[in-house]
């Protein structure tokens, strides 16, 4: 299993698990959940206020992103299974391409990141353009992975280069907007760092779990 395949599988598993976790537990919204604080003298009312605020934000999130979430979970899960089983590889890479293409050029509800990037450049909103570009880099790399996989490109230097690039961007891309704003907080660092550590562990563990003796 080359580094290209390992990094994609690790990325896909991390994406699926953290997406499901955010749906079930609101992992990415814990800060917002308690942003108003819980006061001892008004404990119950504070809890209900925070939960209702969170549910309002979460329902809007689900309405806008439900189609992308469904595509991501279904397509990435199937792609992971095919790649690990080392069968139907072309089908696996085609499935792997669907979520990132949809994320980049999405015409429904939430605008695709590449469309946002172009519009932000035209409107000279450079901070938004950099953020949209950062959000586009990993999907673009997944598409490159998929295209080279479909073309049966076998090159160790290429695999290592694009694999290492993917690993670096996996950590840096989520930090792009907070860094641009200049108000990087502990939560902005902790969330991508947890995902990055989980991702790296998968990159190391996956080939050992599915190594063919």
Look at residue 107 and give its three-state secondary structure: coil
Instruction: State the pLDDT confidence band at 183, using cuts at 50, 70 and 90.
Output: low
Computed over every residue of the chain, the mean pLDDT equals 75
Helix (H) or strand (E) holding 51: helix 43-85
pLDDT value for 168: 87
At residue 57, does pLDDT exceed 70?
no
pLDDT value for 51: 53
CA distance 24 to 29: 11
* Least reliable range by pLDDT among 19-33, 81-95, 167-181: 19-33
Token output for 156: 């160790």
E-state strands within 44-116: none
Segment 92-103 shows an average pLDDT of 89
CA distance 30 to 115: 30
Threshold 0.95, pTM exceeds: no
The CA–CA distances, whole Å, from 183 to 5, 174, 175, 191 equal 36, 14, 11, 15
186 CB burial (10 A radius; 0-12, 13-18, 19+) = exposed
Decide if 51 contacts 33 (C-beta within 8 A).
yes
Domain ranges of the chain: 3-206
> Number of helices (H) and strands (E), helices first, in the chain?
9, 0
At residue 151, does pLDDT exceed 60?
yes
Q: Measure the N-to-C terminal CA separation of the chain; round to a whole number of Å.
A: 12
At residue 39, does pLDDT exceed 50?
no
Instruction: State the pLDDT confidence band at 206, using cuts at 50, 70 and 90.
Output: confident
At residue 30, does pLDDT exceed 50?
no
Higher local confidence (pLDDT), 13 or 57: 13
Q: Could you report the per-residue pLDDT of 152-169, keeping only the tens digit for each?
A: 877 888 888 888 888 888
Decide if 38 contacts 195 (C-beta within 8 A).
no
């Amino acid at each position: 299993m080359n580094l290209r395949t390992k990094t994609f599988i690790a990325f896909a598993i991390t994406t699926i698990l953290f997406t499901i976790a955010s749906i079930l537990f609101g992992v990415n919204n814990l800060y917002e959940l308690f942003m108003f604080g819980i006061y001892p003298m008004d404990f119950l009312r504070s809890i209900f206020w925070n939960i209702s605020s969170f549910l309002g934000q979460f329902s809007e999130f689900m309405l806008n992103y439900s189609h992308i979430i469904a595509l991501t979970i279904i397509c990435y899960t199937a792609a992971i299974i095919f790649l690990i089983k080392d069968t139907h590889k072309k089908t696996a890479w085609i499935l792997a391409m669907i979520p990132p293409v949809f994320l980049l050029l999405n015409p429904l509800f939430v605008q695709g990141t590449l469309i946002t990037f172009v519009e932000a450049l035209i409107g000279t909103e450079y901070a938004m353009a950099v953020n949209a570009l950062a959000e586009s880099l990993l999907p673009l790399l997944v598409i490159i992975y998929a295209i080279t996989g479909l073309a049966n490109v076998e090159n160790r230097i290429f695999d290592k280069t694009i694999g290492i690039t993917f690993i670096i961007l996996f950590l840096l891309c989520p930090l792009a907007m907070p860094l641009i704003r200049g108000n990087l907080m502990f939560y902005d660092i902790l969330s991508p760092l947890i995902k990055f550590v989980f991702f790296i562990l998968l990159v190391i563990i996956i080939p050992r779990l599915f190594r063919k003796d």
